[in-house]
């Protein structure tokens, strides 16, 4: 199956490109000036951007991925993330999924929680820069999870290259256990790009990979390409779909589709001091 939880977190199935399709200004607004009800979709599979949901606002992303696991065997996952803005530069993210392996019934996967900290905006070299530390818990039913408690950190660098958004991620995970069920250390990298095509229609392209892991459950390095259209239905709702094509290693072919919905404000943020 696609290693959606290689870092112990599921970063879901929509592309920030859909939101970029709505921007008509040549200059990029500051994060504080953005409409808090406008969606901030993250990338398919593993990548995300440095942006955070506005304080007191609630956004949900969900999707489905169908992996071709070999021959006629298929696997299904439905990664979901709940995002709550808890400060001007911080977002609480709660990750979960359901999984169905080849020949299995759909069941609950592991659950994780993380906080995305936006540390820099428009900085030299790193652009918008954020850290996403997270912890995943062994809550899955049956053997649908790793059976380990995982601590992970993701480094996120986001840039706007004219109308094109570029997001670069590098991450590492440390797992509990003896390495039999899952490697004790895993890492990933991604490079994602997206932008407008025509009106609310946009596009996304991503290259991602998982370096080789060691131990009893170790596996070879993988790399894959991802691409597809995005569509901004409303400023608070975006959808997308696409394909994942392996470049090398044990990465399956896959189809995905997803949506992100900015539900609204849960509480009003306190006014800044005069």
Do the domain assignments include residue 114?
yes
Do the domain assignments include residue 3?
no
Structural domain count, the chain = 1
Do the domain assignments include residue 30?
yes
Whole-number pLDDT of residue 30: 47
CATH, residue 90: 2.40.160.40
Q: What mean pLDDT is reported for the chain?
A: 86
Do the domain assignments include residue 122?
yes
Q: Which of 223, 221, 144, 220 is nearest to 190 (CA)?
A: 223
Whole-number pLDDT of residue 248: 94
263, pLDDT greater than 50: yes
Do the domain assignments include residue 273?
no
* Measured CA distances, 75 to 106, 140, 260, 263 (Å): 10, 16, 23, 30
What whole-number distance in Å separates Cα of residue 46 and Cα of residue 152? 13
Mean pLDDT within 127-150? 93
Do the domain assignments include residue 102?
yes
Domain, as residue range, for 23: 17-265
Measured in degrees and rounded to the nearest 5, phi and psi for residue 57 equal -100, 155
Q: Where are the beta strands (DSSP E) in 124-272?
A: 127-137, 150-161, 164-175, 185-198, 201-210, 222-234, 237-248, 253-265
pLDDT tens column, 62-99: 999 999 877 677 889 999 999 999 999 999 999 999 99
Whole-number pLDDT of residue 8: 40
Whole-number pLDDT of residue 7: 43
Whole-number pLDDT of residue 43: 60
Do the domain assignments include residue 5?
no
């Amino acid at each position: 199956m696609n290693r959606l939880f290689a870092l112990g977190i599921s970063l879901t199935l929509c592309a920030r490109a859909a939101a970029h399709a709505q921007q008509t200004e040549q200059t990029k607004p500051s994060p504080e000036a953005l409409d808090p009800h406008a969606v901030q979709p993250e990338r398919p599979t593993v990548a995300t951007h440095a942006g955070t949901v506005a304080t007191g606002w609630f956004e949900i992303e969900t999707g489905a991925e169908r992996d071709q696991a070999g021959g006629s065997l298929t696997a299904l996952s439905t990664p979901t993330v709940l995002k709550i803005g808890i400060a001007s530069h911080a977002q609480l993210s709660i990750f979960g999924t359901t999984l169905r392996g080849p020949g299995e019934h759909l069941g609950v996967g592991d659950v994780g929680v993380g906080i995305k900290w936006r540390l820099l905006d428009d900085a030299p070299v790193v652009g918008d820069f954020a850290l996403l530390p997270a912890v995943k818990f062994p809550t899955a039913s049956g053997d649908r999870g790793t059976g380990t408690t995982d601590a992970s950190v993701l480094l996120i660098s986001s840039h706007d290259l004219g109308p094109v958004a570029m997001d670069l991620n590098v991450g590492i995970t440390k797992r509990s256990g003896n390495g039999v069920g899952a490697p004790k250390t895993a890492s990933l990298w991604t490079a994602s790009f997206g932008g407008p095509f025509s009106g609310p229609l946009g596009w996304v392209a991503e290259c991602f990979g998982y370096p080789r892991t060691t131990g009893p459950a170790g596996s070879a390095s993988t790399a894959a390409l991802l691409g597809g259209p995005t569509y901004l239905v409303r400023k608070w709702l975006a959808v997308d779909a696409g394909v994942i094509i392996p470049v090398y290693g044990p990465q399956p072919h896959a189809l995905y589709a997803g949506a992100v919905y900015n539900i609204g404000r849960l509480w009003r943020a306190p006014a800044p001091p005069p």
